[in-house]
Amino acid sequence: MLDPGEELLEPAGEQPILYVGLMGFSLQQRVALEKIMTRQGGSGPAWRVGPFAEADAWCVNGSRISLQPDGNLRVMAGLPTEHVLNLRLEDVKRPIGFSKPLASRKFEATCTFDPASEPDIQGMLRQFEDWLGPLLFRTALGALIVKKGVFLRGGNYHVRHKDALLAVLDFRHGQAAISAKASPAALAEASWDRRPDGANELPGNFLSCTPAQLIWTYARHCAQDLLPRRYRDEVVFYRHAPRVPLSWLRDSELRLLSTLSTGPGDFRTLCQRTGIAESEMARDLACLYYAGAVTTTRSKASESFSSRQDAVPPRPTYGNIDSIPESQPNPSFEENRTVPATLDRTNRLLSGQ
């Protein structure tokens, strides 16, 4: 959770957003698929096409696959900007749909769809939503934690729907566990029972997580702008490693943290220094804010910055320009993956490396 004095924004009632990555499709095919997938309708989550590596689910062109001798699946590129993809299917932790026809007769896909059929595509997305039920539950639970805010601080709660225990939340120690069978719909009528301080044991058959991870999941899949206003108006400092696994961070978030590790900056300056668009910057900063990684309070910044006299760059007085962009505002992919040394050390300790 956030430190005392930090506010939580109340979420608006809205559909969560799920992201689908496309691989092996031509530009024309991608446009047609995106048009169907992003069409609004129903009470379920909204779908958006996003970067393949960061998506919640994948759609692969089945006509461009080949099964390799080692059991891996190779997917040929569909765009000049794509690379050949080798998938070790047993390591894939997200649902995959393959367009028909399949080029390999030896490969049996769990989910297939006709790329020319809108009902088929919508049916595939509904199947994805069933598979992603735990993710949607974490998103809905994270939204409720944000809504309840400071009233939860320091307490232990059992979230129940009728006789079913959905989640155990220990805000004193930053621990949580959720039932693998819990659904977002059950949360609407669930009770939040505060338990004694000692009653914080997490069920062994539940999925372990933390309150910070639940809020992060909500921030990642929310269409609402969750970034507090001061993060657009004041100087932003790097604080410490985000309270989520390093693998959860997008490339743009890693780039932002790396930039902040070299010095603080305001919203527009950070956009210029990183080459990140304002809308994406707002989402990344919101996630990092809820994970406790950034702050606008100088005294809460990482010691390497809070003790420096030049930590806050002087605000310019000319026009609306906040700063002059760096000569290379858009680093290479390898540079984008760079993280602050303190972040790397922290995550190595957490992972036992």
pLDDT in tens, 208-255: 999 999 999 999 999 888 999 999 999 999 999 999 998 889 999 999
Q: Which band of pLDDT confidence, cut at 50, 70 and 90, is reported for residue 202?
A: confident
pLDDT in tens, 118-137: 999 999 999 999 999 999 99
d(CA 234, CA 279) in angstroms, rounded, equals 17
Residue 44 maps to a domain: yes
d(CA 20, CA 30) in angstroms, rounded, equals 12
d(CA 135, CA 132) in angstroms, rounded, equals 5
pLDDT in tens, 4-27: 444 444 444 568 999 999 999 999
Residues 93 and 139 in one domain: no
88 CB-contact burial (10 Å; exposed 0-12 / middle 13-18 / buried 19+): exposed
Residue 4 maps to a domain: no
Residues 324 and 243 in one domain: yes
Strand-pair category, 156-161 with 191-195: antiparallel
SS3 for 65?
A: strand
Residue 6 maps to a domain: no
Write down which residue in 131, 158, 193 finishes a domain: 131
Strand-pair category, 164-170 with 156-161: antiparallel
Residue 5 maps to a domain: no
| Domain of residue 84, CATH code | 3.40.50
Greatest pairwise CA separation for the chain in angstroms:
67
Q: In what order do the strands lie in the sheet with 85-87?
A: 65-67, 73-75, 85-87
Mean pLDDT of the chain: 82
Residue among 288, 318, 119 nearest 219 (CA) = 288
The CA dihedral of 122, 128, 133, 139, to the nearest 10 degrees, is -80
Residue 344: which domain range?
Answer: 230-351
Residue 252 maps to a domain: yes
Residues 171 and 237 in one domain: no
Residues 23 and 125 in one domain: yes
Residue where the block lists tokens 């909500």: 218
For 186, the token pair is 């059950």
Write down which residue in 90, 111, 131 finishes a domain: 131
Residue 27 maps to a domain: yes
Residues 205 and 284 in one domain: no
% residues pLDDT > 90 (the chain): 57
Residues 163 and 120 in one domain: no
Count up the domains in the chain and report the number.
3
Residue where the block lists tokens 């566990």: 177
Residue 106 maps to a domain: yes
Determine which helix (DSSP H) or strand (DSSP E) holds 216, and give its type and residue range: helix 211-220
pLDDT in tens, 242-271: 999 988 899 999 999 999 999 999 999 999
Residue 170 maps to a domain: yes
Q: What is the pLDDT of residue 3?
A: 47
pLDDT at residue 283 tops 80: yes
Give the dihedral sign, CA 63/66/72/76. negative
Residues 211 and 260 in one domain: no
Residues 203 and 276 in one domain: no
Residues 259 and 284 in one domain: yes
Where helices occur in 167-210 by DSSP H, the ranges are 184-187
Residues 53 and 162 in one domain: no
Residues 115 and 140 in one domain: no
- DSSP per-residue letters across 250-306: -HHHHHHHHHHHH--B-HHHHHHHHT--HHHHHHHHHHHHHTT-EES-GGGS-HHHH
pLDDT in tens, 73-108: 999 999 999 999 999 988 888 999 999 999 988 888
